[in-house]
Amino acid sequence: MHFAATTQPIVNAMLALARVSADDVVYDLGSGDGRIVILAAQRFGARGVGIEIDPVLIERSRQTAREATVEDRTTFIEGDLFTADISAATVVTLFLSDFINARLESKLKNELRPGTRIVSHQFPIGHWKPDGTVRIEGEDLFLWTVPAR
């Protein structure tokens, strides 16, 4: 898997679009270096969970969280985002691909509670129509809210 870091302005915009607050549990699927989870904890007091398959990136994320003194509010799990339990999330962030997002669509709809917000950087989620789109630095951010069942 290729890791591409999300820029600071885009991370800020993603968290703002999701209306992240201290009451939230932010899950970043494919969390890379952990910056979204760490910023959610630092700036908003949220709890955060990063799920990442690369053990080197997991260790980097944990180290950065310690340096940012948010290790008590962040967890980084080395694992597969397709099999990970994401049911505790109130916000999910993604910067994956069209293909992976399409594969995740049913998991997101079935495992997340109604009202959970999902923000994807650059890529839509299958055929699921977003509730909103924001353009920043020439890139699209998409927002969905999991509907009532």
CATH for 65: 3.40.50.150
Q: Give me the domain span that covers residue 86.
A: 19-97+117-138
What is the Cα–Cα distance from 93 to 141, expressed in whole angstroms? 10
What is the Cα–Cα distance from 14 to 35, expressed in whole angstroms? 12
Looking at residue 1, what is its pLDDT? Answer: 54
Count of domains for the chain = 1
Looking at residue 2, what is its pLDDT? Answer: 63
What confidence tens digit (pLDDT) does each residue in 73-124 have? 999 999 999 999 999 999 999 999 999 999 999 999 999 999 999 999 999 9
Closest among 118, 143, 148 to 130, alpha carbons compared: 143
Q: How far is CA 124 from CA 59, 100, 131, in A?
A: 29, 10, 11
- Inside any domain, residue 106: no
Evaluate if residue 58 carries a pLDDT over 60: yes
Phi, psi angle pair for 119, to nearest 5°: -125, 125
- Inside any domain, residue 58: yes
- Inside any domain, residue 83: yes
Looking at residue 149, what is its pLDDT? Answer: 83
Q: What's this model's pTM, rounded to 2 decimal places?
A: 0.96
What is the Cα–Cα distance from 42 to 141, expressed in whole angstroms? 21
- Inside any domain, residue 147: no
